[in-house]
Amino acid sequence: MTPTILDSEQLWKRCGRIYRIEKSSKIYNYSLIFATAIRNPIVKYAAYGLKRRVTVFKTWGDLFNPRQKLTLITFAEKVRQAHARMLEGGVEAEYAKAVVSYLGVTLNRLISAQSTLTRWRPDKQSMEDTFSRQALPMVWDFIEVNPVTNGYRSWNELFTDTEKIIPHLSQTNFSPATITQSSATALPHTDNFFDAVFTDPPYYDNVPYSYLSDFFYVWLKRTVGHLYPNLFATPLTPKSNEIVVYANKPGGKDEANKFFEDNLKKSFQEIHRVLKPSGIATIVYAHKSVSGWETLVNSLLDSGLIMTGAWPLRTEMGARLNARETASLASSIYIVARKMEREPTGFYNEVSDDLRRYLNEKLHRLWEEGIGGADFFIAAIGSAIEVFGRYEKVMDYEGEIIRADRLLSDVRRIATDYAVQQILHNGFSGEITDLTRFYVLYRWSYGAAKVQFDDAHKLAMSCNIDVAEEWGRSRGFIKKEKEFVRVFLTFGELK
């Protein structure tokens, strides 16, 4: 039964609000709408951020209940009609295209608040959109907001935000931005073109960007796809060349890892090519694993870019859903790299001597400036790679090329030796194990306090250990408490 609300003024005065059964013809029309609405399939790929494979949702339309579908389809239809009416009214084609593009983007924001994957935040008495984190979350129940009021996450509220941002962005005195769609491994620009390049590259399999973007793509295709035929030529977003690790690629996870690492290097080589000789590249890095850090350093060294600095900056909201439920990174490492002339070959024994001298100077400066804890070691890595980056390749006397794993091991040893000597005031830092180093440095940095996983992870990485592996060991002194890590003083505390 589909009830229809009859709410005319005369009826309301006589008997209040009444209901009647919807006519069968209208029910049939609604059925036709739903049968053709958003039938694009959800590719069954396990990395949507879910802990189990999605089998309930077959198409993107399955993420919306019938009321939400009808509402959003109606909005989408009105967006397209707005474009047609502007053209009929004599509005310039490019202007009409720009206006409808903003309407389409606004509708996509509404769609994120109008699905069965939204959730209620009792602590804030508010709702979380579909993408409260970079995944499709499974929820026990969902909340719906009225999209045609002036309330929270309604069309009027979202469109008002859009109206405010347009004049703000129009106040810039710079030339209009030029936006192009191209592969990161084949940029459509000449050599030595840019003064600066900024990139936040993907991190192995952390976020399946193209798969998740289909959530928005299928709706944008219906609202503004006809205005951008080249951008919406495919039923779903292209995925075959995305530089992300997908285990469903031919060859499995190992081949997917190789694909990622090879193409990450190619993308950095392209940055090197298009960057001016005096240009600066800034790369954001936020992967949790030590191996991910080594891959990034190798890719930079192979590209010709020289890292001249690395600083952790807190970039994530501590209250985001993923941080509340897991031990997650709260900051990102901002890496500064430059395009410089390099010497052909350096020999490891000589380079390592230069590395120790240069790094000890840097470490002393960092120590004097009061930079401590995990930030001390991240800054040390950035300074050290500048020495290695002066050469196209570094070899030992046996002809073996020195890669990032050995370089980072040296940097960690030098930095931890320096820090432990400063803390313990002795010369025996080289005789202690990696775990002991971590323990001493943790105590120096945080005392007995429990800290966010992000901070403990960076400190552990400087000691060449993976804190996520250590906290699960029997009788270990590193323990995880939700999104926190704690190092215990005595074994008695472990009971």
Q: Where are the domains of the chain?
A: 24-175+212-226, 249-494
Q: Count other Cβ atoms within 10 Å, centred on residue 437.
A: 24
CA distances from 314 to 23, 201, 447 (A): 57, 17, 21
Residue found under tokens 């459509």? 188
The answer, yes or no, to whether residue 359 has pLDDT greater than 80, is yes
Extended strands (E) in 407-482: 451-452, 478-481
Helices (H), 171-316: 209-223, 252-274, 290-303
Confidence of residue 46 (pLDDT cuts 50, 70, 90): very low
Instruction: Tell me what pLDDT residue 27 has.
Output: 52
The answer, yes or no, to whether residue 52 has pLDDT greater than 50, is no
The answer, yes or no, to whether residue 2 has pLDDT greater than 50, is no
Instruction: Tell me what pLDDT residue 448 has.
Output: 75
Instruction: Tell me what pLDDT residue 424 has.
Output: 74
Phi/psi class of residue 137: alpha, beta or left (left: φ > 0; alpha: ψ in -120 to 50)?
Answer: beta
Average pLDDT over residues 284-309: 79
Average pLDDT over residues 468-484: 74
Please give the single-letter amino acid code of residue 294.
E
Report the alpha-carbon distance of residue 19 to residue 224 in Å, rounded: 37
Report the alpha-carbon distance of residue 412 to residue 410 in Å, rounded: 5
Tell me the pLDDT tens digit for each residue of 141-188: 788 888 988 888 899 999 999 999 888 888 877 777 888 888 999 999
C-beta separation of 236 from 92 below 8 A: no
Confidence of residue 132 (pLDDT cuts 50, 70, 90): confident
The answer, yes or no, to whether residue 109 has pLDDT greater than 80, is yes
CA-derived radius of gyration, the chain: 28
Instruction: Tell me what pLDDT residue 221 has.
Output: 94
Residue found under tokens 């081949």? 255
The answer, yes or no, to whether residue 425 has pLDDT greater than 90, is no
List, in order, residues 6 or more apart from 480 with CB less than 8 Å away.
327, 453, 468, 471, 472, 486
Residue found under tokens 């350093």? 297
Instruction: Tell me what pLDDT residue 22 has.
Output: 55
Average pLDDT over residues 385-405: 85
The answer, yes or no, to whether residue 53 has pLDDT greater than 90, is no
Residue, of 310 and 355, whose pLDDT is higher: 355
The answer, yes or no, to whether residue 12 has pLDDT greater than 50, is no
| CB-based burial label for 247 (10 Å; 0-12, 13-18, 19+) | middle
What DSSP designation does 12 have? H
Tell me the pLDDT tens digit for each residue of 274-291: 999 989 999 988 765 556
Q: Count other Cβ atoms within 10 Å, centred on residue 76.
A: 22
Report the alpha-carbon distance of residue 287 to residue 296 in Å, rounded: 10
Average pLDDT over residues 326-348: 76
What's the distance, CA 73 to chain centroid?
30
Average pLDDT of every residue of the chain: 79
Residue, of 110 and 481, whose pLDDT is higher: 110
The answer, yes or no, to whether residue 225 has pLDDT greater than 50, is yes
Instruction: Tell me what pLDDT residue 16 has.
Output: 55
Percent of the chain topping pLDDT 90: 25
- DSSP helix/strand/coil, 439: helix
Instruction: Tell me what pLDDT residue 288 has.
Output: 52
Report the alpha-carbon distance of residue 482 to residue 319 in Å, rounded: 13
The answer, yes or no, to whether residue 320 has pLDDT greater than 50, is no
> What's the predicted TM-score (pTM) here?
0.74
